[in-house]
Every structure is written in C-alpha cells, then in structure tokens.
Chains A and B, each alone.
Chain A
Amino acid sequence: MNTDEHRSSWAAFLFPAVQFVMVAGTVFTFISGRFAPPKAITAAGEAIDLQYHMTLAVAAVVFILSQLGLAYVVLKYRDHGQRVQFTRGNNVLEAAWTSLTAILFIGLGLLGGKAWANGRMFEPNSDANLLRIEVTENQFVFNFRYPGPDGKFGRIDPKKIDSSLGNPLGLDSSDPASADDIVVPTLTVPVNREVELLLRSQDVIHSFFVRELRLQQDAVPGSIVPVRFKAEQIGKYEVVCTQLCGLGHSSMHTYLNVVSQEDFVAFLKSNAG
C-alpha cells in the first residue's frame, strides 16, 4: 500500500525537531551541573571525577553527532522524489570506524584503571598510619567498630548477638581484645588519614555508599571486604545502603563525620570504656 502519504510526511520534520530538543535538553542539563553529585572530598574521588568527565566528553560528542546525524538524514532523505544513491556498503569505512571506536572505547577503559585501583587494589598492611574500622551492616542499621588502644579487633560470635543487651555485633567478652572495642552507629574519621573499612554483614547483602567519597561497596555475609579512602575535608556526609536488603532498605542510612585530629582523639576518649 504505497500511498503518497509518505511523500509529504511531517514526521520528516517533527522527528528532527524532537531529536534536537532531546539533545539540547540533555546537554544543557548536564552542563548546568544542577544535578551533579556533591564535590568529592578525596583525591581518589577527584580521579574518578576526572575519568567520569572524560567519558562524558566522549559520550557527548558521540551522542550529539549520532542523534543530530540521525535527525539530519531523516530530514534530508525524506522521499521528495529523489533518486536513491545505491550502495551495498563500504569496507574501508567499516574498517575505519571499527578501529576508531575500538581505540576510543578500549582506551577510555584502560585509562580508568588507575582510578579504580585507588582504594581497592592495595597491599595488605601497607600503611603504618592506617586506621582500620570494621563496618557491620544488618537489617537495617550500620554499626562501626574501632579496635581501641590495643589496635586489635576482639572476636565476634554470632550466637552472642543481642541488640537489646547492647551487643548488636555479638562481641565475645571472653576475648580480652574486645574489652576496648568501640561500637557506634555513626562513622567518625580524622581528616587526611588513610582509613580502611572492613565491610561485613550479618544477614543479607547490604552496601556502603558515600557520594562525596565516590565510594560504594557491598557488604557480603560470609566475607570481609576491605576498601580504603583518605578524606580531605571536614564535614558531615550521608551514608546510605544501596543494595536491596529487605523492607527497611530505603531507611537504612547513617553519617560519616570527618573531623580534625583533635576531635577524633576526643571522640575515641569519650566512647572508650
């Protein structure tokens, strides 16, 4: 049914218009930065932002060129009585844009390796000044454990877990190392010090996410996952759970307090004993 309807179709004009508005709206919203994440407070976070912006630049160019290119060919080659420029393809062109795309995409991926390695790939016990904090996630609370002056984490026994008795982690009091362990519901760390979080869970998979750290990591029951960061700005930041963990998933959150060294010492002292 080859009606003449297609010859004067306003789709040829409406589609490019929609494409243009869509591209413009998207690009301007990105440029405006109105929905940007808050500024990163770690050098590692800034490296991630750099990688993100490089990717954004590449994606923006490809996006604008292909979407507006699509709009252009739709408009220009609408049927208005022209002859078709017959071709079955062009192998040189195929080879060219395949190689270019491969170099661009894979290159981008390789460049991002360093930003990924920060905080994830490290030698165990490599930093003498390292502050290790154990993060235990349950349905639906966070608990943070500091090893105390002895620098050792006490033993944990799941059979001893009893929140009502003030022992949400199941600290085994028969282990002398656990006597000075500090367990608190918010995370306090000193500024400019390498921190290692040991993420664990007692029931289902949860996650630990702080936007300003550009750090997200699942807490998996049955294992302990270490991640590292070094916060460089004092402040209070939201910590949320991002891995679906049950009914209370959307209200499972706490805070990261980055404080000065003096305030951190005071914090440890006030929570000791």
Chain B
Amino acid sequence: MSAHGHTIHVSEAPTGFVRKYIFSTDHKVIGIQYFLLALTAVMVGLVLSVLMRIHLLWPDAKLPFIANGIMTPAQYLALVTMHGTLMVFMVLTTAPQSGFGNYFLPIQIGAPDMAFPHLNMLSFWVTFVSFLCLVSAFVVPDGAPISGWTAYTPLSGLGQISGPGEGWGQTMWIVSIAFFCLGSLLGALNFIATIIDMRAPGMSLFRMPLTCWGWFVTAILGLLAFGILLAGGILLLLDRTVGTSFFLPAGLVVTDQLQPHSGGSPLLWQHLFWFFGHPEVYIAILPGMGVASHVLSTFCRKPIFGYKAMVIAMNAIGLLGFMVWGHHMFVSGMNPYSGFAFSIMTMAIGVPSAIKTFNWLSTLWGSKIHFDTPMLFAIGFVSLFVSGGLSGIFLAQPAVDNLLHATYYVVAHFHLVMGVAAIFGIFAATYFWFPKMFGRMLNEKLGKIHFWFTFVGAYCIFMPMHFLGLAGGIRRYADYTAISYLQSMRPLTMFVSFAAFVTATAQLVFLYNFFWSLKNGPKAGKNPWNATTLEWITESPPAHDNFGGQYPSVYRGPYEYSVPGAAEDYIPQNLEPSQVAREARS
C-alpha cells in the first residue's frame, strides 16, 4: 500500500529526557501528558465518590483517616465539591479533548503537529498548575470548599464566615479554575487554527473523521465559553478578598454579623456560571460522540449512516448549547417567562441528539459487528446516552422541574450522560488507540471484563437514582436522618452504594491492563483494526513528525468500509484510486 506523499525537511526530533518527555512541543507527548493528568484526576475523583457512598451507607461509621472518625457534613460537602470539580474539569474536559484530541487531531488530518506547538506546551503546563491549585484545596487551612462545583453565591462569596473550606479552600478553587480557563482557551485556539489551516491536500472539512469534527465544535465552544467563566471567577475572587459586591446584596446576616456588602446579585453569578456551564457539558460529550461514531463505523465495517447529518447535528448541538443555560435556573428566581423560553430551546436541543442516536442505530443496521473491546464501549455509549438523554426531557420542562430540581433525578441524569456515557467515550478511545499510542495491544479478556462490570455496574448505580429523586431524595444531603420521608429510601441507597463499590473496584482491572500492557502487551502493527483513517498508516507509535517525512494526500471520506466492488472491506483515505484493489468479476 503506497501513497503519493510530499516529502519535507522536518525539524529534528528532540533529544534528552526533559525535552522529550517533560517540556516537549510534540503534540503526542502533550496528549499523553494530558491523558495521564486526567487519569490521576479520575482516580482521585473516584475515591472521593466511594467515600461519599460509604458515608451515605454507614453515616456513623468510624473511618480510619478522619480526625474524629465520623465524617462531618463539612467533609461530605467538601467531597461533593471536589469530586464534581475534578471530574468535570480535570477529567471530562481534559481527556477527550486535550488528551486524545491533541494526540490524534494532527495525525487524522495529515499534519505533523498542531499549528502552534509551543503554545500547546504552555497550555498543558498551565492546566497542570490548575490541577495543583485544585488539589491544594485539600491541604490548605480548613480544607476544601463546600459550595459544590457550582459555587453559588453568597455561600461561596462571603469567605471564611460561610463555613469550613470557604476560606483558603474556595480561593484556591477559584484560582485553579482561572488557570484552567486560560489553559483551555489557549488549547481551543490551537485546535481551531490546526483544523482550519493544517489539513493535508484532499482533506476537505467533509472528509475529516467525525472525531475531528467533535474536537472542532468542542474547541469553538471552549473558546467562546471559558472567557465567561474566567470573568465570573475574577469577580467572585474580588468579592471574597477585597470586599466588592458583584454577587453579594445588602443586608446579609451571617452568624449574627451584618455583612458590609451592598448592590450585588447572586443570580448574576448563576447566569455567568451557567452560560459557561452548559456549553461545558457539551464540551464533555461531543468528543465522545465523535469517538463513538468513529469506533462504531470501524468495527461494524460500514460507513457511518448520514455523515453530513452527523456533522450538522454536532454543530447544531454546539450552537443551541449556548442558548439553553437557563434550564439550570428554572426555580432560581429568574423571570418565569425566560424560563419558558429556555425550556423550548432545551427541548429543541434534544432533536440533534436524537438524530445522532438514530444514525448510530442505522449504522449498525445491516452491518457486520465485531465485538472488540473498543466497540463494546461504543455500543455502551449509545445505550447510556439514550438513557441519560431521555431524563433530560423531563428536566427541560420547568413545570416538572418543580418536582425534580435538586433531587437525585438530576444526579442520575448528569451522571448517565457525563459520568458514564462520556467516560465510555474515553474508554472506547483508549482501547481503540492504545495500540497506536504505545505500540502494544491491550488484553482483550481483561478489557471485556472491565466493560461488562462497568456497564452493568453503572446502570445499577444510576438508574435507581431516578427513583430516589422522584420520591423526593434531595441531592447534596450529608445525611438522611433528619427528614422522615427519606428513611424509606435506605434500601435503594444501600443498593446504589454496593453497586458503586463493585464498579469502582472493576476499574482496577482497567488500570492493571493499561500499565501491564504498556510493557508486556503483544506488539501492535500499524493497523490492528483494519481502519481507514490516517492515523493507521503511521508506525505504532508514530514517528516524531507522524508520517516519517512522507505526507499523505487524501482521496476519499473517512468511513469507506465494505464498499461494493472493492476487494478489501476497507479503503484507507490516503490510497490512490489506481491503487485500490478491486473485486475480480468474471
């Protein structure tokens, strides 16, 4: 298989450990650095959630590492806050986009690196500083903040007087978020410039793999949204430290002390936060949708059904994603007429999501499915996205939100879409691209064990939460003993906790598989999955400049599988037409 390539005198590969692995401008190294950052964060976040479930199960249990043994409400709420923040920012915004996007975007479009490699390196280290600031909240005086990942004011804006963790902890949280915004903005800039200007000849926008479209729309969302969060964060920091009143009204009395602030609006924080926060959740899921499409097509040997419709749907989700933020604020005191408008827009955004689901199902229809582990996670993604997305249409209606807001129904919804579906996107990507990144295969048996325990386990954890919420189970409650009607929910809470323990333990299988296979997995060839896109023509792992000096040209779309008349059931994108083996017919 040869391709007409363009040769170029490339820049030299770096030598020395530090330039190769620490301060590298190579997008592949940076991608792995982001991935490892996300892996660390997800392990911490997972432990935090297990601690939360232990507390909910055994509120009076004496835990070994806690000062007086029994977990206090302050500690529980700190777990809630840090779990949410770590997972949303350091895992779901980092791994799918900055991790896999950085690694594979240039390769999939036929480029040797991102448009601005030095800026890319800077983005990673800024994000790393953000991570350090975030985890420092655990060790500063009075611990981590207790205001949730949403940090509503005035609780988060008054400083130490609001409660434990609201002093240094909340401040470090805001500083961390500010750095994260900067790192993300720089990264988004790089992605957009790369996609627009660094594509190989023949790689038109509509020949890009859907993974690249996912990264593209996500980058645009990030570019437009993170600036808002940065602005809000700076204003909040000023309220806390120098006594401004951006978000703090007059007349606040906390612990019998009248606060000096005057003239601010708590709702303003919510608007700023959610104007960012809603696009943020689409940033978390869009790359996963791209990966799901990509993996589904590859492993069922059939083009993705309706490629253009998928692209349009992604862009529609991105665009509409900026118009729905008020659905987090139906009962916030916002104008009820605005609430109604946001509701209609939110129901509308269900449409492109549904279209993507129909297209995934149609891709599988009439196909030929191979159940390798990446495919299992991609199929699981579809199932989980349907489940999670459908609870969204309840929450999108303010009338129904009267009953469901701030209950476990909401927790079920966002965990199914983000905490499981998006994670499955990350897992699918990991199992799919591990051979390319590290030159070795992951163990299939372990992969399958990991999938089944996680898939079944996740449903066991989060489906029951819908019922807990419907019955009136309130979220962010450190204990359920004070409210009489919550007592009947204990059996279901126990079931959820046990399911969580099992599922969390199953992740150890993944970790073991990952690190063991790095050294001992069977060596991988260039194209273990017989896939069509450009990353599979490179070495495993790819050379420093990705294509070893021979740059590809692209002749066709990314999902030419089982094309009638072709001898092989896949046609790589870079294969010259004259080189495509045809089926012999007599």
Direct A–B contact in the complex, CB atoms closer than 8 angstroms: yes
- In the bound assembly, the distance between CA atoms of A252 and B484 in angstroms comes to 12
User: Which residue of chain B has its CB nearest to the CB of A120?
Assistant: B336
Q: With an 8 A cutoff between CB atoms, is A69 at the interface?
A: yes
Q: With an 8 A cutoff between CB atoms, is A9 at the interface?
A: yes
Pair A89/B306 contact, Cβ less than 8 Å = yes
- Set of chain A residues within 8 Å of B253, measured between Cβ atoms: 138, 158, 161, 170, 202-203
Pair B309/A89 contact, Cβ less than 8 Å = yes
User: Which residue of chain A has its CB nearest to the CB of B565?
Assistant: A86
Pair B254/A139 contact, Cβ less than 8 Å = yes
User: What is the distance, in angstroms, from A218's C-beta to the closest C-beta of chain B?
Assistant: 5
The residues in A between 46 and 104 inclusive whose CB is less than 8 angstroms from any CB of B are 47-48, 51-52, 55-56, 58-59, 62-63, 66-67, 69-70, 73-74, 77-79, 82-91, 93-94, 97-98, 101-102
Pair B307/A242 contact, Cβ less than 8 Å = no
- Top 7 nearest A-B pairs (CB, nearest first) are A222-B249, A85-B366, A6-B370, A35-B467, A115-B399, A109-B347, A89-B306
User: What is the distance, in angstroms, from B427's C-beta to the closest C-beta of chain A?
Assistant: 15
**A70-B364, A70-B386, A109-B347 known; A116+B478 contact, CB < 8 A:** no
Pair B386/A67 contact, Cβ less than 8 Å = yes
User: Which residue of chain B has its CB nearest to the CB of A56?
Assistant: B394
Q: With an 8 A cutoff between CB atoms, is B498 at the interface?
A: no
- In the bound assembly, the distance between CA atoms of A226 and B294 in angstroms comes to 50
- Set of chain A residues within 8 Å of B152, measured between Cβ atoms: 204-205, 243-244
**A94-B309, A98-B355, A112-B399 known; A37+B162 contact, CB < 8 A:** no
Pair A77/B468 contact, Cβ less than 8 Å = no
- In the bound assembly, the distance between CA atoms of A77 and B347 in angstroms comes to 32
Q: With an 8 A cutoff between CB atoms, is A127 at the interface?
A: no
Q: With an 8 A cutoff between CB atoms, is B393 at the interface?
A: yes
Contact residue among B250, B348, B371, B391 (Cβ-Cβ distance under 8 Å from A105) = B348
Q: Can you name 14 A-B pairs with beta carbons within 8 Å?
A: A6-B372, A19-B383, A51-B400, A89-B359, A98-B351, A101-B350, A120-B336, A121-B336, A161-B256, A203-B252, A204-B162, A216-B406, A240-B472, A242-B406
A212-225 interface code vs B (CB 8 A; 1 in, 0 out): 00111110111101
User: Which residue of chain B has its CB nearest to the CB of A252?
Assistant: B482
Q: Chain A interface residue count: which class?
A: 35 or more
- In the bound assembly, the distance between CA atoms of A238 and B348 in angstroms comes to 35
A interface residues, Cβ below 8 angstroms from B: 1-2, 5-6, 9, 11-12, 14-15, 18-19, 22, 25-26, 29, 34-38, 47-48, 51-52, 55-56, 58-59, 62-63, 66-67, 69-70, 73-74, 77-79, 82-91, 93-94, 97-98, 101-102, 105-106, 108-110, 112-113, 115-118, 120-121, 138-139, 158-159, 161-163, 170, 202-205, 207, 209, 211, 214-218, 220-223, 225, 238, 240, 242-251, 253
Pair A77/B267 contact, Cβ less than 8 Å = no
Contact residue among A85, A202, A244 (Cβ-Cβ distance under 8 Å from B147) = A244
User: What is the distance, in angstroms, from B42's C-beta to the closest C-beta of chain A?
Assistant: 24
B70-82 interface code vs A (CB 8 A; 1 in, 0 out): 0011100100000
Pair A87/B366 contact, Cβ less than 8 Å = yes
- Set of chain B residues within 8 Å of A69, measured between Cβ atoms: 361
**A109-B344, A238-B484 known; A207+B477 contact, CB < 8 A:** no
**A47-B399, A89-B305, A97-B358 known; A84+B371 contact, CB < 8 A:** no
**What is the number of residues of chain B that contact chain A, defined by CB distance less than 8 Å?**
123
Pair B162/A246 contact, Cβ less than 8 Å = yes
- In the bound assembly, the distance between CA atoms of A240 and B470 in angstroms comes to 15
The residues in B between 448 and 503 inclusive whose CB is less than 8 angstroms from any CB of A are 448, 452, 455-456, 459, 463, 466-468, 470-472, 474-480, 482-485, 492
Pair A242/B459 contact, Cβ less than 8 Å = no
- In the bound assembly, the distance between CA atoms of A272 and B478 in angstroms comes to 38
Contact residue among A18, A90, A139, A238 (Cβ-Cβ distance under 8 Å from B455) = A18
B interface residues, Cβ below 8 angstroms from A: 72-74, 77, 146-148, 152-155, 158, 162-164, 249-254, 256, 258, 264-267, 300-303, 305-309, 331-333, 336-337, 339-340, 343-344, 346-348, 350-351, 354-355, 357-359, 361-362, 364-372, 376, 379, 382-383, 386-387, 390-391, 393-394, 396-403, 405-407, 441, 444, 448, 452, 455-456, 459, 463, 466-468, 470-472, 474-480, 482-485, 492, 524-525, 528-530, 561-564, 569
Pair B154/A84 contact, Cβ less than 8 Å = no
Pair A5/B336 contact, Cβ less than 8 Å = no
User: What is the distance, in angstroms, from B255's C-beta to the closest C-beta of chain A?
Assistant: 8
**A70-B379, A244-B148 known; A52+B344 contact, CB < 8 A:** no
